[in-house]
Amino acid sequence: MAGGAAALTLLTATGAHAEGEGDIRVTKTVVNRGGNVIIGTARTVKYPIAITIKDDSGVKKISRLSTFNKSNGYGFVDWDGDSSCVRKSATTSVCTGTMTVDPGWIAASDDIDSNRVAGVWQVNATVNANDGDYWISDAIAEYKVKRAAQLTTDATPEPVAKGAKLTVKGKLSRANWEDLKYHGYPGQSVRLQFRAAGAAHYRTVKTVKTDNVGRLSTKVTATQAGSWRWYFPGTTTTSLKASAGDAVTLQR
């Protein structure tokens, strides 16, 4: 469920709208261990929200936890109402709630195109202390909820004569949360990468844009044996994806 670079912004209670009673405070919030949340078309996704809480009497629990798109206010993630707290000191604990989303819920959760709910999300919470203090905190963290991507690669001919042209095709698609199918993703810049036989890493050879149905096609000169793949770096709303490599040998 996590993919790509960490997408977390940490905010203290003083940097967010907050109100309550007593000295209890949220000092840190980490969503999905610092990674993006990637949701496809079928698999149920669960991810943690870990909140560091401080109070002079000690921390009791999270009593409210919600998360939703920052710009339009829609969300489709469920919290079961439970949290587990790990005591770090007499005054500080890390309390974690587990969030769940079944893709089958998404289309019924709003009255807009559900795909618009991908992007930057925020976390709101109410936390409680042992002495009855409580704190209502809004926007204590921001993170990204993204549509899962799929990417294929097919290099032909195989094998290929050294110095001859090799055609590398593929297709980039992403999850549509309305019909729970993958559709081609047009107009996206995708990197063609090559890893020579025996080498440890891929290198980018060129960048190609997907056509109006998400297809990719380009020609390269075959100079050595190795594997070809397409690499999509992702966007704010769509996950990073690297295709499986297609190994091509040279004719003897």
Q: Are residues 28 and 98 in the same domain?
A: yes
Q: Are residues 121 and 28 in the same domain?
A: yes
Q: Which pLDDT band holds residue 19 (cuts at 50, 70, 90)?
A: confident
Number of Cβ within 10 Å of residue 14's Cβ equals 9
Indicate whether 131 belongs to any domain.
yes
Q: Are residues 134 and 154 in the same domain?
A: no
Instruction: Determine the structural domain holding residue 232 and report its residue range.
Output: 149-248
Q: 218 is written with which tokens?
A: 């380009």
Q: Are residues 37 and 141 in the same domain?
A: yes
Beta bridge partners of 9: 142
* Domain count within the chain: 2
Q: Looking at residue 9, what is its pLDDT?
A: 33
Q: What is the pLDDT of residues 176-224, one digit of tens each?
A: 999 999 999 999 999 999 999 999 999 999 999 999 999 999 999 999 9
Indicate whether 185 belongs to any domain.
yes
Given a cut of 60, whether residue 14 has pLDDT beyond it is no
Question: What's the CA gap between 175 and 183, in Å, rounded?
Answer: 7
Given a cut of 90, whether residue 10 has pLDDT beyond it is no
Q: Are residues 132 and 197 in the same domain?
A: no
Q: Which pLDDT band holds residue 35 (cuts at 50, 70, 90)?
A: very high
Indicate whether 1 belongs to any domain.
no
Q: Where among 147, 177, 198 does a domain terminate?
A: 147
Q: Are residues 120 and 166 in the same domain?
A: no
Q: Where among 131, 147, 163 does a domain terminate?
A: 147
Q: Is 225:108 a contact under the CB 8 Å cutoff?
A: no
Indicate whether 56 belongs to any domain.
yes
Q: Looking at residue 57, what is its pLDDT?
A: 97
Query: Looking at residue 133, which CATH number applies to its domain?
Result: 2.60.40.10
Q: Where among 104, 130, 147 does a domain terminate?
A: 147
Question: What's the CA gap between 45 and 148, in Å, rounded?
Answer: 12
Query: Looking at residue 162, which CATH number applies to its domain?
Result: 2.60.40.730
Q: What is the pLDDT of residues 63-89, one digit of tens each?
A: 999 999 999 999 999 999 999 999 999
Q: Are residues 43 and 54 in the same domain?
A: yes
Q: Are residues 158 and 240 in the same domain?
A: yes
- Rounded to the nearest 10°, the torsion over CA 154, 159, 160, 162 is 130
Q: What is the pLDDT of residues 82-139, one digit of tens each?
A: 999 999 999 999 999 999 999 999 999 999 999 999 999 999 999 999 999 999 999 9
- 85's CB contacts (< 8 A; 6+ apart) are 53, 59, 60, 61, 93, 94, 95, 96
Indicate whether 206 belongs to any domain.
yes
